[in-house]
Amino acid sequence: MPLYRTVARSATVDLEVKRSIFRCDIRRVTDEAAARALVERLRSEHWDARHHCSAFIWLPDGSLSRSSDDGEPSGTAGAPMLEVLRGAGLTEVAAVVTRWFGGTLLGAGGLVRAYSDSVRAGLEAAGVLERELVTEQQVALDHALAAKAESELRSRGVSVLDVAYGQQAVLQLGIRPQDVEQVRTLLAELSHGGAELEAIGERWVDR
């Protein structure tokens, strides 16, 4: 799976439904431990709230997930929250909805709507970014050529991950597998055949 979607930034959004306050915190997480730590931090921070319901998905392929109703009627909070995350096609994401009870019972349907709407609002505020699996390559260039090469590469959508300066400038690049030969040709033209790409691995990059 060479591409996946996650949230672009952290977000916190409040929603009021019949005097109950639903506060949704959206965070990017890469493992279950980070998601559970977020829940516990918010539970401690908002100790006066009645519920801290959660849903999280991690791993790039979205294959692992958890959800919790945290005392709300079964199936009215965690599962609907998780469905919103899945419906948005996101992974590496945690949603925690903290509820302060306003005195009016919402019923099962009302709770499902409130928790789902809260996560939707949180995701809208957080935005979306794509992450892509690229082949990591490096190339050594003369200093006089490095800036021009970096500009040309960026203009073609190549991720310049790092530049190290020594006797030569060494550019660390993230290249889509299908673009490697095109980049190799570009560098050969710029350097009059003097530059050689060296494959050093794979990594995920933000798009």
pLDDT of 60 > 80? The answer is yes
Residue 205's pLDDT is what? 87
Residue 180's pLDDT is what? 93
pTM above 0.85, yes or no: no
Residues 51 and 77 in one domain: yes
Residues 140 and 110 in one domain: no
Q: Residue 177 carries which side chain, given as an amino acid letter?
A: P
> pLDDT tens digits, residue range 88-138?
999 999 999 999 999 889 999 999 999 999 999 999 999 999 999 999 999
Q: Domain boundary at 111, 126, 141, which?
A: 126
Q: Are 94 and 40 in contact (CB under 8 A)?
A: no
- The pair of structure tokens assigned to 10 is 């952290």
pLDDT of 207 > 90? The answer is no
Say which CATH number the domain at 148 has.
3.30.70.240
Structural domain count of the chain: 2
DSSP code of residue 92: S
Beta strands 64-68 and 51-58, pairing class: antiparallel
Say which CATH number the domain at 42 has.
3.30.230.30
Taking the CA of residue 172 as centre, how many other CA atoms within 13 Å lie in the half-sphere pointing to its CB? 11
Residues 13 and 93 in one domain: yes
Residues 103 and 173 in one domain: no
d(CA 81, CA 119): 6
What is the span of the domain harbouring residue 172? Answer: 132-206
Give the end-to-end CA distance of the chain in Å, rounded to a whole number.
Answer: 15
Residues 29 and 46 in one domain: yes
For residue 159, give the H/E element and its range.
Answer: strand 159-165
d(CA 150, CA 57): 36
- Report the 10 Å Cβ neighbour count for 182: 13
Residues 91 and 175 in one domain: no
Provide the angle, in degrees to the nearest 10, between the axes of the packed helices 107-126 and 78-87.
Answer: 40
pLDDT of 1 > 80? The answer is no
Please classify residue 190 by burial: count the beta carbons closer than 10 Å to its beta carbon, then call 0-12 exposed, 13-18 middle and 19+ buried: middle
Q: Domain boundary at 77, 93, 126, which?
A: 126
Q: Are 202 and 172 in contact (CB under 8 A)?
A: no
> pLDDT tens digits, residue range 143-169?
989 999 999 999 988 999 999 999 999
d(CA 146, CA 154): 12
> pLDDT tens digits, residue range 173-190?
999 999 999 999 999 998
d(CA 177, CA 133): 9
Query: In which band, very low, low, confident or very high, does the pLDDT at 5 lie, cut at 50, 70 and 90?
Result: very high
3-state secondary structure of 58: strand
Q: Domain boundary at 92, 126, 160, which?
A: 126
Residue owning tokens 């009059």: 192
